[in-house]
Amino acid sequence: MQVLLCLVCAFGLFGQYHPAPLPLEDDGSVHPTRPAQNDLSLATKYLQKFYSFQADPTGRRRRSRPSFSSKLKDMQSFFGLNRTGSLNPDTLAVMTTPRCGVSDVEDYSHKRGNRWKKNIITYSVGRYTSDLPVNTVDAQVASALDAWAKASPLTFQRSYSHQADIMVEFVGNEHGDSFPFDGPDGTLAHAFGPGEGIGGDVHFDEAEAWTAGFKGFNLYVVATHEFGHALGLKHSQNPDSVMYPTYKNRKTQNLLSSEDIMNINTLYGPRDKRPYPSPRFSWSYPSSPWYSGSYFPVSYKDTCNPDLTFDAVTTVGEAIFFFRDKYLWIKHNNQNDIKEGPISNFMPKIDCQIDAAYWVPQRSTAYLFNGTNFWTVKGSQVKGRAKNIRNLGFPSWVQQIDAAVHIHKTVHTLFFTQHQYWRYNEHNKTMNDSSPRNISDDFPEINGPISAAIYKDGSLHFFVGSDVYKYDVKQKEIIGADKTTSWLGC
């Protein structure tokens, strides 16, 4: 079983670094007249450790090996920097910031053994930090594990045995695993992927200033990241993901992004494995092309759960579609006559969770999103193959759309990703801006991430968890609030 190591990062903790740019020759070597030898040494070690760069000890590059410049471009691409292939200030600023020790180019999430083969996982806390009371550490660790439990079918049980699946310890310097810590403000922690022995274990550097707040390093935030690796997740290129290889102060509420939840579900399945109602209750509803196949009566036990949340909501003609996991509710003509069932019963070619959806009435077309893919749907027919969201103008770091809504009066579609949003012109088929805007700037009182959104009766309706906020765009204020269940007649 391959044991995998990850060391958490600490971005944003230092002042901006502005070294002199260090141009490279075509073969990846540094021009001999450039004096920044320390920068070159740092960059070489960085690329060797995180991007599989193999430097020749003689200083000559073998033709069979990728150049320094090409590996540098790989690193720049990962962090969304300009792919110049030279050591510019932005690149060196990243390299001089403490970070995670797992390779950024190694995709280990699908390798054998990189998930636990069980859903009940034990954990134990060994040596504690002197920075926090024992009960605070216990609470922070339990909360971090609970964040993953709420997003998956996993259950974590506290153990007081050294044979627990996940051993948590605060240690310093050399501590017996061949990966010594480096003192304050460097490597914060590391974790090993699922497996026997040291597999799953998480070590925190006792030299750091651990806190339950944000003056030092927030233990809950770092632990949530580390437990993600202990469960088999890799790093994300999305800065909003808790699995992004950099430390930053985050809002501790709803710490996991939609991408994090999707990735843990890929490994272990969704948390809510709701059994579908028996098909003996099925019927057909031929008056609309969406109503084809088998249908099930409303299951009020699940539908009226006060904690019910939706992954996506959209109007489709006079109907409203509500998506959760691989399930769909259809509410027609503002009535409580709701049809429900697996999404594949309504659209046979789609058998996955829908993250976002919107409807363009001028085209009588719906667009459904999952990860970086989206489908064009007319009637109940999926038109062609799934396309990549890059076709809409999204940069590579956007891995998932949280919510989408089309405002027909302005011909714009708004795409929400964590705490930001994009404006897409459906007429010109282009993004209005090259960069996203902050949700809080243009929609005061709305705190992302947004689960779903629709435009109905002249107002935007934002679904945030189990709450729905009616928003007046002109006045820029919330004019009403309700629960998601009320939209299903509860």
DSSP string, 96-157: TS----S-SS---TTSTT-S-SSSEEEEEE-SPPSSS-HHHHHHHHHHHHHHHHTTSS-EEE
393: left (phi over 0), alpha (psi -120 to 50) or beta: left
Integer-rounded Cα Rg, in Å, for the chain is: 25
Q: What whole-number distance in Å separates Cα of residue 164 and Cα of residue 175? A: 19
Helix (H) or strand (E) holding 468: strand 467-472
226 is annotated as an active-site residue: yes
142 marked among binding-site residues:
no
For residues 81 and 91, give the distance between their C-alpha atoms in angstroms, rounded to a whole number: 7
Is 158 in a helix, a strand, or coil? strand
Predicted confidence at residue 273, as pLDDT, reads 46
- Gap between the Cα atoms of 39 and 84, Å rounded: 16
- Quick check: 105 and 150 in contact, CB under 8 A? no
Total Cβ atoms within 10 A of residue 156? 20
243 marked ligand binding residue: yes
319 is in an annotated binding site: no
Which residue in the list 106, 196, 206, 226 is annotated as catalytic?
A: 226
Q: Which pair of structure tokens corresponds to residue 226?
A: 């580390």
Handedness of CA 212, 215, 221, 223 (dihedral sign): negative
Query: Residue 357, annotated ligand binder?
Result: yes
Handedness of CA 384, 388, 389, 391 (dihedral sign): negative
Is 481:465 a contact under the CB 8 Å cutoff? no
With CA atoms as reference, report the closest residue to 401 among 488, 314, 302: 314
Tokens for 167?
Answer: 């051993």
Is residue 260 annotated as involved in ligand binding? no
Q: Which residues of 258-270 are buried (b: 16+ CB within 10 A; e: fewer)?
A: bbbbbbbbebbeb
312 closest CA partner among 374, 244, 362? 374
Residue 149 marked as a ligand binder? no
CATH topology of domain 279-488: Hemopexin (2.110.10)
Q: What kind and span of H or E run contains 467?
A: strand 467-472
**In the chain, where does the domain assigned CATH 3.40.390.10 lie?**
120-268
Give the bridge partners for 205, in sequence order: 171
Sequence letter at residue 127: R
100 is in an annotated binding site: yes
Tell me: is residue 404 an annotated ligand-binding position: yes
CB 410 within 8 A of CB 399: no
Judge whether 40 and 20 are in contact, CB under 8 Å: no
How far is Cα 253 from Cα 226, in angstroms, rounded to an integer? 17
Q: Which residues pair with 324 in a beta bridge?
A: 327
Q: What is the distance in angstroms between the CA of the first residue and the CA of the last residue of the chain?
A: 50
C-alpha–C-alpha distance, residues 471 and 478, integer Å: 5
Contact residues for 299 (Cβ-Cβ < 8 A; gap 6+)? 277, 340
Is 442 annotated as ligand-binding?
no
Strands 420-425 and 430-431, bridge-based pairing: antiparallel
Which residues lie closer than 8 Å to 62 by C-beta, 6 or more apart?
56
Kindly report, as residue ranges, where domains of CATH 1.10.101.10 are found in the chain: 18-95
Token code pair at residue 210: 């651990």
> What does the alpha-carbon distance between residue 77 and residue 87 come to, in Å, rounded to a whole number?
13
Q: How many residues does the chain have?
A: 490
Q: What is the pLDDT of residue 29?
A: 41
Neighbour tally for 12: CB within 10 Å: 10
What's the CA gap between 129 and 391, in Å, rounded? 49
Provide the CATH number for the domain formed by 18-95 in this structure: 1.10.101.10
Residues 6+ apart with CB under 8 A from 308: 302, 324, 466, 484, 485, 488
Q: Is 177 annotated as a binding residue?
A: yes
Beta bridge partners of 342: 327
3 state DSSP class of 392: helix
List, for the chain, all residue ranges whose pLDDT scores fall below the cut of 70: 1-36, 56-65, 99-102, 106-113, 272-303, 333-337, 380, 448
Domain boundaries 120-268, corresponding CATH code? 3.40.390.10
Please check whether residue 197 is in contact with residue 165, taking contact to mean a CB–CB distance below 8 angstroms.
Answer: no
Q: What is the DSSP string of 451-462?
A: SEEEEETTEEEE
Residue 205 is labelled as binding a ligand = yes
The answer, as to whether pTM is greater than 0.75, is: no
229 in a labelled binding site: yes
225 is in an annotated binding site: yes
